Structure 1
Amino acid sequence: MTDFVRGNHLTLLYNGADFFPALIAAIESARREIYLESYLFETDAVGIAVIEALMAAARRGVSVQMQIDGFGARNFPAGWQARLGDAGVRLLFFRPEVGRFSLNRQRLRRLHRKLTVVDGQVGFIGGINILSDVDSPELAPRYDYSVRVNGPLVAQMRETADRVWRHTAWVQLQPEWARTLPAPPKPMKAGQSIAKLAIRDNFRNRHAIEQEYLRAIETARDEIIIANAYFLPGYRFRHALLRAAERGVSVVLLLQGRVDHALLHYASRGFYHSFLKAGIEIYEYRKGFMHAKVAVVDRYWATVGSSNIDPFSLLLAREANIVVRDHDLAGALRDDLQRRLDHDSVAIAPDDLRRGRWYFRILPWISHGIVRVLMAISGYGGRRYLE
């Protein structure tokens, strides 16, 4: 686990409208190297624009390492793979999906990070995959965030991207690609922000991101706002929120309001009653699909990243979040969260849980039970996590 680093300049990016132009501009300015990681990578208009920028960088001599997940990006077209290779882009799939119906639990360990580092000087970290955020003309663009980082923290971002890249290259018998690249110049101080990189892996950092959340929740004095698309917290996380509410902290949850993954959506609702009873406010985002994974505590501590608060992110996947102690970024994020709460979301009341047909009222409990069974079958402690 890394320590907080001073001297960074952080820019909060709102949705793909901010993120993709900033990302492509950084790629176009690259002179030395690029590391790009993404769970999803679609060859739509957005994805092709990123691909073309990467290929142009490789053609002018930039070392381009592109790693995408073998499950999330399993349908990445062979034609584009060939074109990337011809241009000099090195492309790896993290844990390629070889057996769709395999029961090997290792296949659940995915590369869920959304992390890019350019020339060791600028980094991007957040929840935005490489694909268009327009799901439907009738809906608002997919709701998400990323952070552009300049300053000393970028060195740690580069180190973790390089480490995962070289590990994958060795496993996939690409020794030339696994060689350590010459380190770029260390990034200079660029601002006053204090930040740290929190990663989750299956080695020394198994609980690092969850622990960052728990420390912030346990020390909160006034307010906790969490916006998370896939929210199925474990025992420790749930009870930390309940204790915070009990000691008078305002706890607000902004969750997915539209059904994306049905099982997780309804299982999450199984906790609504106990949260509402404790005084925790719950809102559901309804303007479009939500993909954000962020939080603000006491208008000073904030996190933005790829980690959901569910078993997949907290127990299985490789994730990356930035954690900041910064009034400016935390304040900007909180202001945007408040706008989403006020204008794009619906507050959930206890009476809402008793309305509707009986089979919709029992769906949360059925879904919660199914998740517990699936976790137990996979060997990842369903009872211990969800009890």
Structure 2
Amino acid sequence: MAAEFVPGNRLTLLNSGEDYFPALLAAIDAAEVEIYLESYIFADDVIGHQVANALCRAAERGVQVNVTVDGFGARNFKFDFFSRLTVAGVRAMFYRPEIGRFHFKRHRLRRLHRKLVVIDARVAFVGGINVIDDNNAPFDMRPHYDYAVRVEGPVLRQVHHAVRRMWETVSWVNFKRRFRLAPVADPCCAAAGDQNAAFLIRDNIRHRNDILHAYLDAIDNAKHDILIANAYFLPGLRFGRALYAAAQRGVRITVLLQGKSDHQLFRYATQTLYATALAAGIRIFEYEKSFMHAKVAVIDGEWATVGSSNIDPFSLLLAKEANLVVRDAGFAGELEASLRSAMAIGARELLAEELSRQPIHSRFLRWLAYGLVRAMVGIAGYSQRHWQSEETKPEER
């Protein structure tokens, strides 16, 4: 399904938790009718408790507060927050809760990876930032580097519909019928600004490829510059071909990736792609200042996206994801300036001669990591053939 851009929005770019959490907490404290919050991680740290306290205060003053967390990413939530929140009147549920331990389950790869908050159907937050303190990381990886967007305007109708539908679906699956009887705030569709935006999700039915196709359309139409910053970058066949074609027609392509990773297997697998990308003229930078968790892109200074979707098979084919796509030179320019500044301060460019000096065993380990990741996709129910062909079905384009 193509992105449905709507005009009249006001979008505020938020850089990491330093910008995001003060804005989020202020909005929660101002809530009057309802709050929907979705997060993959809800950490037992300073930020987690600040957000939990704000949600409790809102519920205690009569706001209907609905919290959905992932059963694997936020598996601590049951012990750290659930009782306190429910006593205060917060309605909380798990998406695919973990049952049992110490054995592999295929469904662990099918996660609720969205980071969304909608308050009174009048303001929303969309991005890649979990409920976790920026400094909740090993010392040399602090602080987290990520983005979110504060959203006001007509595109809220799309965001509100998505969180409402997720809540109803999880309620039904968990037999929480009393949670399904919820009053609905009417989305505020009045113009709040002059920016064009579309809200995209990834699920397993109607919207399986929406985020992927938005990227591909933007790359296919790029004329000058493509700047992608993505924490976990392992594109499929169609995505890689689109980037290569753009490079061949003279588009300047820059990819910013993690230099410090919490998933070394993914990092090693991604590094198998470096030689081909550099040979095509694509510049690759690794962010080494701290832990980069961003999932953003800017194309031709006009098109931008901020969201939760990594460019890898797990995000693009398996997980529940959400991205905001923007057509606005002002917003795109602000995001690009922020990325360029971060790269100048904390990133290092990878050069072809570095790769040529890698020992044979190092190259072998990286290809082994790549093979393991592909095998994991197959175990989850997506074979290598499906991974490649899923992106090219014309009837779903």
Residue in 1 aligned with 2:53? 52
Q: Could you give the per-residue CA deviations for residues 336-387 of structure 1, whole angstroms, max 9, x where no partner exists?
A: 1111222210100111112344322322211111122222233212245369
Residue in 1 aligned with 2:107? 106
Looking at structure 2, the residues matched to 377 and 140 of structure 1 have their Cα atoms a distance apart, in angstroms, of 33
Looking at structure 1, the residues matched to 5 and 36 of structure 2 have their Cα atoms a distance apart, in angstroms, of 23
Residue in 2 aligned with 1:253? 255
Q: How many residues align?
A: 387
**2:336 is matched by which residue type in structure 1?**
R
Residue in 1 aligned with 2:242? 240
Looking at structure 1, the residues matched to 318 and 308 of structure 2 have their Cα atoms a distance apart, in angstroms, of 13
Looking at structure 2, the residues matched to 139 and 106 of structure 1 have their Cα atoms a distance apart, in angstroms, of 29
SS in 1 for 2:291: strand
SS in 1 for 2:77: coil
User: CA, structure 1 residues 47+180, in 2 after alignment: closer, same or farther (shift >3 Å)?
Assistant: same
Matched-pair contact (CA < 8 Å) for 1:372–1:386: no
Deviation at 1:225, TM superposition (A): 0.3
Looking at structure 2, the residues matched to 180 and 212 of structure 1 have their Cα atoms a distance apart, in angstroms, of 33
User: CA, structure 1 residues 77+173, in 2 after alignment: closer, same or farther (shift >3 Å)?
Assistant: closer
Map 1:59-208 → 2, pairs under 5 A = 59-78=60-79, 80-100=81-101, 105-134=106-135, 135-208=137-210
Looking at structure 2, the residues matched to 261 and 137 of structure 1 have their Cα atoms a distance apart, in angstroms, of 16
Matched-pair contact (CA < 8 Å) for 1:166–1:180: no
Matched-pair contact (CA < 8 Å) for 2:125–2:150: yes
Percent identical: 50
- Give me the TM-score of the superposition, normalised by structure 1: 0.97
SS in 2 for 1:20: helix
Deviation at 1:182, TM superposition (A): 2.8
**2:191 is matched by which residue type in structure 1?**
K
Provide the aligned C-alpha RMSD in A.
1.5
User: CA, structure 1 residues 270+384, in 2 after alignment: closer, same or farther (shift >3 Å)?
Assistant: farther
**1:373 is matched by which residue type in structure 2?**
A
Matched-pair contact (CA < 8 Å) for 1:120–1:187: no
Residue in 2 aligned with 1:28? 29
Looking at structure 1, the residues matched to 48 and 349 of structure 2 have their Cα atoms a distance apart, in angstroms, of 35
Matched-pair contact (CA < 8 Å) for 2:238–2:388: no
Which of 334, 349, 352 in structure 1 is aligned with 2:351?
Answer: 349
Q: Which has the larger displacement, 114-123 or 177-186?
A: 177-186
Deviation at 1:80, TM superposition (A): 2.3
**2:50 is matched by which residue type in structure 1?**
A
Residue in 2 aligned with 1:213? 215
**1:130 is matched by which residue type in structure 2?**
V
Deviation at 1:98, TM superposition (A): 1.0
Deviation at 1:191, TM superposition (A): 0.2
Deviation at 1:187, TM superposition (A): 3.4
Matched-pair contact (CA < 8 Å) for 2:43–2:132: yes
Matched-pair contact (CA < 8 Å) for 1:143–1:289: yes
Give structure 1 stretches of 5+ with no counterpart: none
Looking at structure 1, the residues matched to 58 and 192 of structure 2 have their Cα atoms a distance apart, in angstroms, of 25
Give structure 2 stretches of 5+ with no counterpart: 390-397
